[in-house]
Amino acid sequence: MEDQNQCTTRDEQLKNLNLPKVLIHGPPGFSSVLQPPFSQKFHILNHSSLPLHKFAATHAHHCSSVAAVLCDGGYPVTADVLRLLPSLRLLVTASAGTDHVDLEECRRLGVRVAGAGNMFSEDVADLAVGLLIDVMMKISAANRCLRERILVVSRDFPLASIFKLTGKKVGIVGLGKIGLEVAHRLEAFGCMISYNSRSKKTFVSYPFYSSVVELATNNNVLVLCCALNDQTRHMINREVMLALGKGGIIVNVARGALIYEKELLRCLMEREIGGAGLDVFENEPLVCEEFFSLDNVVLSPHAGFSTLESHDGICQLVGRNLEAFFSNKPLITPII
């Protein structure tokens, strides 16, 4: 039996010698994203039990010949990471965003990059609307009150601070695929949509505001759907929040650092804005605990992409991108 096991191991090693090496760069369990039959076409390397630089130091022979990386959005691919992988030709991210990837360095090195495309757009839009309804109608706060045996009829629950969504003016920051999906859903509630984006979109009739402050001034709600970069970091600051006003609500399903979080907390606690629905946070995976005691805030653990359907879809997509690249075919969802 021992000889048979040794033969099996040798057979697997010989087979792997002829397969492209794919490094998994993500949390424990992330390797499950690459499923059969795609996983059987590559030599999979998983460093989740070690920081990447330590893995590279102890497995230099592997890292020197890694052809592709499959990464999670919470695991940065910086210039330092790229230097550890001199043979890298492809980076596939399972994230909708690319702020964790040094795209400029990838271009310089000739590394192709594939993303999640529009895989998560509908789910993230659903969550954005869900968060908004929850904040406005205080569903989570009411649930907590009832569970704590606080009766609504006793007026201990603040019914006067509940708002309806119908007819509200909603400003969307970033009118890409997710932003458009949010807009379409909110139109069904009779909401009046306007937006801010890098440029005016010719294919929509929604009013366009070139300034986020101006957008906030003219709306009851801001929904953040834009990318995080040097220009958008902390774009939602105190000036924007005060422009939104005391009854205003902010929903963020994009990236946490779009909001100056300390200023958001101050405005929420001082009731300078009405509330917030947050799926993302400035220092993920850490969440500022001061949010926990606020009934005008609804929190979600970066779960906009977590439906079963999206998980199955991204498993297929990352495998198809890897397969296409190593078959000399066009990437399915190219970024670079």
pTM: 0.89
Sign of the torsion angle spanned by Cα atoms 255, 261, 263, 265 = positive
Q: Are residues 140 and 76 in the same domain?
A: no
Q: Are residues 199 and 314 in the same domain?
A: no
| Catalytic center residues | 255, 284, 302
pLDDT of residue 225: 97
Q: Which string of b and e fits 173-182 if b means at least 16 CB within 10 Å?
A: bbbbbbbbbb
Counted domains in the chain: 2
Q: Are residues 250 and 222 in the same domain?
A: yes
Confidence of residue 7 (pLDDT cuts 50, 70, 90): very low
145 vs 258, higher pLDDT: 258
Residue 135 maps to a domain: yes
- Residue 328 CA: distances (Å) to CA of 24, 42, 133, 154, 320: 21, 15, 47, 69, 12
Q: Are residues 75 and 112 in the same domain?
A: yes
pLDDT of residue 158: 61
| Euclidean distance between CA atoms 257 and 36, whole angstroms | 36
Print the domain residue range for 170. Answer: 121-299
- Gap between the terminal Cα atoms of the chain: 49
Burial class (CB in 10 A: 0-12, 13-18, 19+), 317: buried
Residue 174 maps to a domain: yes
pLDDT of residue 6: 47
Q: Are residues 53 and 168 in the same domain?
A: no
Q: Are residues 143 and 263 in the same domain?
A: yes
* Residue among 75, 77, 72 at smallest CA distance from 104: 77
Q: Are residues 47 and 94 in the same domain?
A: yes
Q: What percent of the chain has pLDDT over 90?
A: 80
> pLDDT averaged over the chain?
91
* Residue among 91, 82, 45, 86 at smallest CA distance from 64: 86
CATH code where residue 114 lies: 3.40.50.720
**pLDDT exceeds cutoff 90 at 150:** no
Q: Are residues 8 and 90 in the same domain?
A: yes
- Please write the tens of the pLDDT for every residue from 44-83: 999 888 899 999 999 999 999 999 999 999 899 999 999 9
Helix 121-137 crosses helix 177-187 at what angle (to 10 degrees)?
A: 50
Q: Are residues 261 and 223 in the same domain?
A: yes
Residue 333 maps to a domain: no
